[in-house]
Each structure stands twice: as structure tokens, then as C-alpha cells.
Structure 1
Amino acid sequence: MISNDTVLGLLFLCQTVFGALGNSFLLGLYITTFLIGTKLRPIDLLISHLAFVNDLVLLSKGVPQTMAAFGLNNFLDDVGCQLVFYFHRVARGISLCTTCLLSSIQTITLSPRSSRWAEVKARITKCIVSFCFLCWTFHLPIYYIILLNVKGPIRVKNITERNNLIYCSAPIGISFNVALHIFVFSLPDILCVGIMVGTSGYMIFVLYRHHQKVQYIHGNDLTSSSNPEIRATQTILLLVSMFVSFYSLNTILTLFMQFEKPASWLVHVNVFLAACFPVCSPFVLIVSDSQVLKYSLALWDRIKLPVQ
């Protein structure tokens, strides 16, 4: 009979492998497409950046969690635990920032085609690289607090002042200074989530108006909904709704674990939720974004050309 730990290990292994393959495929496709000279959309840079960050999220959490589920609990020391948790939180924050940028840029793309909005659209698409760099510059220093609190696994059972996070440990409860630090630097995350909710509401409104207009002009013939801009908007809406849902649940559990000593199953559930968006997002893009198929076919034709 297969033990629960083995089932968990296989679950985390499959989740990590499939997610890493999906994100690596997208990242490799966009890089190769750019190198062969094909013109990319402005949001393609953000999608490739999101794929890279999602890979980092999965590898920094999925690999050690898989090893721990298979019974290898003492493979990291204090420095290893600090680095794993640090890069996971940084990548998670940058993933939030990048998804927020995707939502915002698509909202501007859907905005009325006046000269004022056209100027804003042209400026913001030119600043995508700067925005990505700013995300890294902001998130790298603010999570230094993790380096001070996360330690290696608990090896003595009668220690009660620290949470046992399977392969690492963290203090139960947080001091006033740390709580203030977390509150202050959580404000950008709250702001990003608020922006995503607001832009998503606007995009839903625009799509609804488009649907009503198409129905009025064409009756039941909704073929114009296959417009690439509309499909891209629907894809980003799906990504945003997924991110907000998984991020909210994961944040609630993480805060709960700061004040209560969690059971091992709750730790596993929290890690699983944290990895759901990085795993699902590349496959949503591969299936929903017609541009991915276009790039793939162009690359395949380029590969076959020398053979012929």
C-alpha cells in the first residue's frame, strides 16, 4: 500500500515538473522567436518574464517540498532554508507585479482609441523593460527579513517557539517591528491586487459592451469575438482571476501560520496553493493565446526549411 508521504511526493513532483516544462516552453519559444527576427507583441516580453519568474517560484518551493514529502527533511541548513524561502518570496512578489502590469497594459490597449490614450499606450509599451527592472529592484531588498527569521529544520522535538515547516522552521508569532515591516511592504501587494481587480472589472465591462454591439449588428453571429485583441483580453482576465484566487488563499494561510503552529498537512496545502498559478498559467496561455500557436508554427517552418 502506498503511504501518504509517497502520494504527496508524487503530487508535488508532477506539479513541479509539468509547471516547469510549461513555463520553460513559453520562455524558450519567445526567446527563440525574438532571436530569429520575428516581431513580438509588447505583452510578449511580460509573458516571457512571467514564465521565468514562475519557473523560479516552482523550483525554489516545489523541489525542496518534493524531497521533504519523500522523507528527506534535513537536507538544508540555515543558509539553504533562508535562500530557498527568500527567492520564493521574491519570485512570488515579482509574479504579482508582472501579472498586474499585464492587466494594466491590456486595459490601456482596450481603451478608446483617442490621441491621448494612443500616446499613453506608446509610452507604456516602451517602458516594459524598465518596469520589469523596477520590480526586481523593489522586491530583492524588501524580503531581507526572511534571511533573519527562517532557520533550518527543527531537530529537537521539545522546541515549541518555532513552527516546523517540514524542511525548515520559522518563529511562531512575529514581533512588533517585524509586523510593521510586513505591513508596510505588503501595501504594494495589496495595491497590485486592487489594480488587477479594477482593471479586470473594466475589461469585463468593455467585453460586455463589445458583445452587445456584435449582437446588435450581427444578431447571433458572434464571429468577431475571435478578434485577437478580444481573445488576448479574455486570456489575461482568466490569468488575473486565477492569480487573485490562489494568491488570496495562499496569503490567508501564510498569515495564519505566522501565529499558529500549523499541522503538516496545512503546510503541504499552502505550498500546493502557492504553486497552482505558476503551474496553470503557461498552459492557459498555450491553449488560449493564438499567438503562441503562430510563433510555434513559424519556428517549426524555420526548422524544416534547411532540411528541405
Structure 2
Amino acid sequence: MRVSRRKKLFQKPGSMDLCITVKGVSFLLQTGLGILGNASVLMAYAHIAFIESHMQPVDRILAQLAFSNLLMLLTRGVPLTMFIFGLHNLVDDPGCKVLIYGFRVSRALSICLTSMLSVFQALTIASSGGPHLTKLKSHLSQLVVPTFIGLWLLNMIICIAAPLFSIAPRNGTVPPFTLNLGFCHVNFHENLSYVVNGVAVLSRDFAFVAIMLVSSGYILILLHKHSRQVRSIRRVQQGTSMETRAAKTVVMLVVLYAVFFGIDNLIWIYMLTVDQVPGVVTDIRVFFTSCYATFSPFLMISTNKKIKERMVCAVGEQTAKDSTENTK
């Protein structure tokens, strides 16, 4: 007891306030930028879908990825930021279940859709590998929606455990085998359910990450072969160059995800080895978990010509409208 009292006596009051402020500003910037970026991508694709009769499979997957990332930031980044700035008791038990379930499903979809994106892009640029591959490539557009439905159902089933254990904080105490999210607690009650849930999530994540890494490796091999073939050719067909740009975007998204996934799951593995997880550890993991949702839309905007053109047109139309109103 004497040691703990000395720690309290020599603790600087301002240091804790500074830490909270830095953490709050970090999550505020991350969440705000992520919501802005993903909303911009969704609006650009909404405009593209309105003016085009048919969207490419990769564009439809990117739009769905932006939606899942936006949902993830809304269900975790927003309430956590509000909690950090002192808005406690935000939700009750049912509210916690909705937020946790929404975050778990959207996070899982982000992994699965990035994996789906890499597989579809690999199939799109794959050279002819027989009648079966040719037939599969011709049906890619028809496979997009069924794959979306399958991934939604799969992750809604896998993620059903977390909301069952989600509760609002009780008197500031954190029981053992509990994930402390600040605004909500996920109390698994015992070590077995805690570890089983963690292993199930890790197994699904690693399976889809392995798929996306293999697909991206195949894309890189195809791009390398393609660059060697066209090195002596001055003009390349427009369709081929568009596919190449799209493939490079997919590879960059996979690399971006792999980096944040590695950090996220190293922390998650540590969390599975302790009975009571400190709040700061959970905050760090949540920050890195949300980094992909924040940065991926800006990577899409900078590398996707369609999205960039839609956003430039929207800005130009708004500028023209403002100048017309000013002249009246």
C-alpha cells in the first residue's frame, strides 16, 4: 500500500490530462479522416453507378469495402472518441451489443473483401489457362453479388459470440477475461470461451490474409511478366493499362492491410494470454485496427482514375455553381 501511495503522490496531474488529450485527438483525427475518405469514395461510386450501366467487379468490391470501413469507424471510432473526451455511459447493454456486433462484422468484412478483391483481380489479369478459367473469368460479374451475400452471412454467424458477452461498464470495474473497450466491456466470464472466441477470429483472419497474400503474389508475378513483354513496345492498349493500374492498386491495398494486420494480431495474441487486458493495450489495438479503414480510401482515391475524375467533376460543378450564384 505504501508503494501505491507514493506513486499517487509523485504522479503529475497534468501528465494524465496530456495523455488523454493526445489519445483523444489521435482517435478524433483518425475517425474523422476515415469517415470523410470512405464517404467520398462511396459518393463517387454512387455517381459512377448512376451514369454507367455496368460497373466492373473490382469497382463494386471497392465500393463495398469503403462501406464496411465506414461502418467500422462509426461503430468503434466514434463511440471510443466520445468516451475518451469524457462522454461516459453512452450506451446500455443492448446498445453495446449492437455496436460490438456492427464493429466485428464490418472488421471481418474488411478482411474478406480485401481478399476477395485480390482474388478477383488476379483472375481478371490471369492469362488464358484453359476453358475452365476462361469460363470463370466470363462469369466474374455474376459472382460478385452471391459472394457478397456469402461473406455477410459467414461473418454474421462467426461474430455472433461477441455481442452475447457485451455489456455496459459496471462501476468502473473490469472482471477477468474481459475486453475493456471503455464505452463497453466484452466479458467472456471464463478462460475457455475467451480463448475459443479469440482462436476462431484468428483462424478466420489468417485464412483470408493467406488468400490475399497468395493472390497478390500471383498478381506481382503477372505484372513482372507483363512489364518484360511490353518493355520493347511503345504503345500499350488502354484496357491492358487500366487492368495494370487496378492490379497495382489491389497489391498496395493488400500490403497496407498486411502491415496493420500484423501489428493488430500481435497485440491480439498477447491479449489472449492474459486474464485482464489493460485499457491502453485495447486502445492501441483499436487504433491499428482502424488504420486500414482510415488510409485505404485515400489510396483508392489517389490510384483509381474513375474515383478521382468523379471527385474532380463534383468540385468543378460546385465551383461553377458558386460562381454563377455570385454573378447574379
TM-score range for the pair, normalised by the shorter chain length: 0.7 to 0.9
Are 1:197 and 2:222 counterparts? no
Among all aligned residue pairs of Structure 1 and Structure 2, give the percentage whose two residues are the same amino acid.
27
Structure 1 residue 81, shift from structure 2 partner: 1.9
Are 1:9 and 2:24 counterparts? yes
In structure 2, relative to structure 1, the CA distance for the partners of 1:272 and 1:181 (3 Å cut) is closer
Question: Which residue does the alignment assign to 2:11?
Answer: none
Q: How many residues align?
A: 303
Structure 1 residue 99, shift from structure 2 partner: 0.8
Are 1:230 and 2:244 counterparts? yes
Are 1:58 and 2:68 counterparts? no
Q: Distance in 2 between matches of 1:89 and 1:266?
A: 18
**Which amino acid is 2:290 matched to?**
A
Q: Distance in 1 between matches of 2:211 and 2:177?
A: 38
SS in 2 for 1:40: coil
In structure 2, relative to structure 1, the CA distance for the partners of 1:46 and 1:162 (3 Å cut) is closer
**Which amino acid is 1:240 matched to?**
V
**Which amino acid is 1:134 matched to?**
G
Q: Distance in 1 between matches of 2:112 and 2:86?
A: 35
Gaps of 5+ in 2: 1-13
Q: Would the aligned equivalents of 2:175 and 2:187 in 1 still touch at CA under 8 Å? A: no
Question: Which residue does the alignment assign to 1:96?
Answer: 111
Question: Which residue does the alignment assign to 2:266?
Answer: 252
SS in 2 for 1:170: strand
Residue 67 (structure 1) aligned to one of 74, 82, 85: 82
SS in 2 for 1:227: helix
In structure 2, relative to structure 1, the CA distance for the partners of 1:79 and 1:256 (3 Å cut) is farther
Q: Distance in 2 between matches of 1:121 and 1:133?
A: 20
Structure 1 residue 145, shift from structure 2 partner: 1.0
Residue 46 (structure 2) aligned to one of 14, 26, 31: 31
Are 1:206 and 2:215 counterparts? no
Q: Distance in 2 between matches of 1:159 and 1:101?
A: 38
Q: Would the aligned equivalents of 1:23 and 1:282 in 2 still touch at CA under 8 Å? A: yes
Question: Which residue does the alignment assign to 2:92?
Answer: 77
Residue 119 (structure 1) aligned to one of 135, 147, 172: 135
Q: Distance in 2 between matches of 1:179 and 1:157?
A: 21
- Range that drifts further, 272-281 or 158-167: 158-167
- Range that drifts further, 33-42 or 231-240: 33-42
Normalising by structure 1, we get a TM-score of: 0.87
In structure 2, relative to structure 1, the CA distance for the partners of 1:224 and 1:269 (3 Å cut) is farther
Structure 1 residue 98, shift from structure 2 partner: 0.8
In structure 2, relative to structure 1, the CA distance for the partners of 1:9 and 1:39 (3 Å cut) is same
Normalising by structure 2, we get a TM-score of: 0.82
Q: Distance in 2 between matches of 1:79 and 1:67?
A: 18
The structure with the larger Rg is 2
Q: Distance in 1 between matches of 2:174 and 2:315?
A: 60
Question: Which residue does the alignment assign to 1:241?
Answer: 255
In structure 2, relative to structure 1, the CA distance for the partners of 1:174 and 1:253 (3 Å cut) is farther
Residue 18 (structure 1) aligned to one of 33, 39, 42: 33
